């Protein structure tokens, strides 16, 4: 629940026209961080809360950027991309990345042409090598997405365990308080009995 909320905030407030998460401005990161800490009543001073939120923000950013890239990779020109914006994405977050992604697609096509030229016109060999590169990239993407899912599950499990630990500690405090009350009551009864004798 927390990670999906963070993902929504990242998609709404973080621009996707920068190369990677480290290039996103500290102001934007701080805004999203503070919003998450406030929304979930997390401790601003607790480094583990801040680190977990920052890591989840990074994962959400990279996952969504990858989805945008995969969507735009279907189109060969900027005009086609502009005619088919990413569904459910604000213009301010989607359009700046168009130039980067179209340029990236153009670079890939140029690399393919260079490969074709280097192979002396042996187009089939170049195509096979490009397909191998794409297959390797798809495997890497799948590994990355799986790793992100595992990290998310681990964070959620850690959060669940922390909640259970807090619950157990609260129960122990209550039991200890009840035992202390019983002991005080027993001491008072014994004191009254001693006075009566």
Q: Label residue 57 exposed, middle or buried (CB < 10 Å: 0-12, 13-18, 19+).
A: buried
| Distance of alpha carbon 123 from alpha carbon 115, whole angstroms | 8
3-state class (DSSP) for residue 15: coil
Residues 57-83: tens digit of each pLDDT: 888 888 887 787 777 777 666 677 667
Residues contacting residue 71 through CB under 8 Å, at least 6 positions apart? 86
Full-model pTM: 0.46
For residue 99, is pLDDT > 60?
A: no
Residues 150-184: tens digit of each pLDDT: 888 888 998 999 999 999 999 999 999 999 999 99
The pLDDT value given to residue 119: 60
Top pLDDT among 84 and 171 is at 171
pLDDT tier for residue 87 given thresholds of 50, 70 and 90: low
Residues contacting residue 191 through CB under 8 Å, at least 6 positions apart? none
Residues 17-32: tens digit of each pLDDT: 777 788 888 888 888 8
The pLDDT value given to residue 94: 45
Residues 101-139: tens digit of each pLDDT: 555 655 666 676 676 666 655 667 777 888 888 888 888
| Distance of alpha carbon 54 from alpha carbon 31, whole angstroms | 12
The pLDDT value given to residue 23: 83
First to last CA, the chain: 64
Which stretch of DSSP H or E encloses residue 150? helix 123-196
């Amino acid at each position: 629940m927390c990670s999906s909320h963070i993902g929504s905030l990242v998609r709404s407030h973080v621009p996707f026209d920068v190369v990677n998460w480290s290039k996103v401005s500290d102001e934007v990161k701080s805004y999203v961080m503070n919003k998450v800490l406030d929304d979930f009543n997390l401790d601003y001073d607790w480094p583990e809360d801040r680190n977990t939120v920052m890591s989840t923000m990074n994962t959400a950013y990279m996952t969504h950027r990858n989805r945008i890239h995969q969507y735009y990779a279907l189109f060969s020109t900027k005009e086609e991309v502009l005619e088919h914006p990413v569904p459910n994405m604000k213009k301010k977050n989607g359009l700046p990345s168009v130039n980067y992604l179209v340029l990236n697609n153009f670079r890939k096509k140029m690399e393919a042409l260079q490969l074709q030229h280097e192979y002396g016109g042996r187009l089939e060999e170049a195509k096979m090598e490009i397909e191998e590169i794409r297959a390797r990239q798809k495997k890497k993407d799948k590994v990355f997405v799986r790793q992100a899912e595992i990290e998310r599950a681990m964070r959620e499990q850690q959060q669940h365990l922390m909640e259970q630990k807090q619950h157990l500690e609260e129960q122990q405090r209550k039991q200890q308080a009840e035992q202390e009350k019983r002991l005080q009551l027993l001491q008072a009864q014994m004191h009254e009995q001693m006075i009566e004798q």
